[in-house]
């Protein structure tokens, strides 16, 4: 069984500070990490491999430095890494990103594709489902539990607003996962050694035979018009006094704005 795990390298927000004047993120010198949701996707892939035997291939699209994300994944137990990197991919929105990933996945030939629910920088949650559509395969979003897996199908729980659904799908299928699914393992020492020497394949546009009109900025229907900082919150008020006085002051404030 071939399991493809899609990961994205994102800035480590635990290391990100907010500029108090502008309210923007200070990202200089912030290390790149594997998107947290994708760590759960990778763990899911590794657990499936342990259960039913198979190969875990990690796939990412990004600039050359995204290679470190793939080596990190190999150190956790992934078998191979493939880096999609080409100037022609620059400026991709979710449509073009999904199209590019689907071309690469077609070339690999996967039974299960696993993605994190969303990336913590873009927060779109669109690349997984769009990729499934390009591959013309079913997908299941927000997987919180894998109940059963056989050689031909999988049964999972999909997290919804009011509970969860139990869903079954044949292979191939694409899953997007939430963090409740599992606890990602730590890399082993042996894994780290393997990762250092692992050969990371690099694929560009020619390797996945994608048309120029479908990738990068040209293939992206959406455009970022501008970026701005949201207005800072105002009216911050620290209430004073004993707990009772503070509670009274709070209730008075809330009554004043007709909130209670």
**Cβ closest to other proteins, residue 52 vs residue 125:** 125
From 217, 211, 203, 228, select the one nearest 93 (Cα to Cα).
217
Q: Which residues lie below 8 Å from residue 84, measured CB to CB, with a gap of 6+? A: 59, 60, 61, 62, 100, 101, 104, 203, 204, 208
Q: What is the Cα–Cα distance from 108 to 197, expressed in whole angstroms?
A: 22
Between residues 56 and 181, which has the closer beta carbon with respect to other proteins? 181
Nearer to other proteins, 192 or 202 (CB): 202
Q: What is the CA radius of gyration of the chain?
A: 22
Side-chain half-sphere exposure of 5, counting CA atoms within 13 A: 34
CA diameter of the chain: 70
Minimum separation from the CB atom of position 258 to other proteins (A): 11
Residue 182's SS3 state is coil
26/193 with CB nearer other proteins: 26
Least separation in angstroms between residue 148's CB and other proteins is 11
State the Cα–Cα distance between residues 42 and 57, nearest whole angstrom.
9
Task: Specify the residue, 84 or 191, whose C-beta has the smaller distance to other proteins.
Answer: 84
- Closest approach of other proteins to the CB of residue 65, in Å: 9
Nearest to 61, CA basis, from 141, 143, 2, 122: 122
Q: Which is nearer to other proteins, 8 or 49 (CB)?
A: 8
Pick from 136, 146, 170: nearest CA to 46: 146
State in angstroms the smallest separation of the CB of 69 from other proteins. Answer: 13
Q: What's the min distance (Å) between Cβ of 110 and other proteins?
A: 16
Least separation, in Å, of the C-beta of 253 and other proteins?
6
Q: How many residues does the chain have?
A: 260
């Amino acid at each position: 069984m071939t399991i493809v795990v899609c990961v994205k390298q994102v800035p480590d927000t635990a290391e990100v500070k907010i500029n108090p004047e502008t309210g923007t993120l200070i990202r200089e010198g912030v290390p790149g990490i594997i998107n947290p949701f994708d760590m759960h996707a990778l763990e899911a892939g590794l657990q499936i491999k342990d259960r039913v035997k198979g190969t875990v291939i990690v796939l990412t699209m990004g600039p050359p430095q995204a290679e470190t994300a793939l080596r990190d994944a190999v150190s956790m137990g992934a078998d191979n890494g493939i880096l999609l990197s080409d100037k022609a991919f620059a400026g991709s929105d979710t449509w073009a990103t999904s199209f590019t990933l689907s071309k690469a996945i077609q070339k690999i030939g996967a039974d299960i594709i696993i993605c994190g629910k969303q990336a913590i920088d873009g927060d779109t949650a669109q690349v997984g489902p769009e990729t499934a559509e390009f591959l013309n395969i079913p997908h299941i979003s927000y997987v919180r539990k894998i109940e059963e897996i056989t050689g031909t199908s999988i049964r999972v729980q999909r997290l919804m607003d009011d509970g969860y659904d139990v869903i079954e799908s044949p292979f191939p299928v694409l899953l997007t996962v939430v963090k409740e699914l599992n606890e990602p393992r730590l890399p082993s020492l042996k894994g780290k050694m393997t990762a250092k020497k692992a050969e990371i394949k690099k694929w560009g546009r020619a390797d996945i035979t994608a048309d120029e009109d479908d990738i990068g900025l040209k293939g992206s229907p959406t455009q970022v018009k501008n970026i701005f900082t949201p207005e800072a919150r105002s009216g911050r008020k620290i209430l004073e006094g004993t707990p009772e006085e503070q509670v009274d002051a709070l209730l008075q404030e809330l009554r004043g704005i007709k909130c209670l």
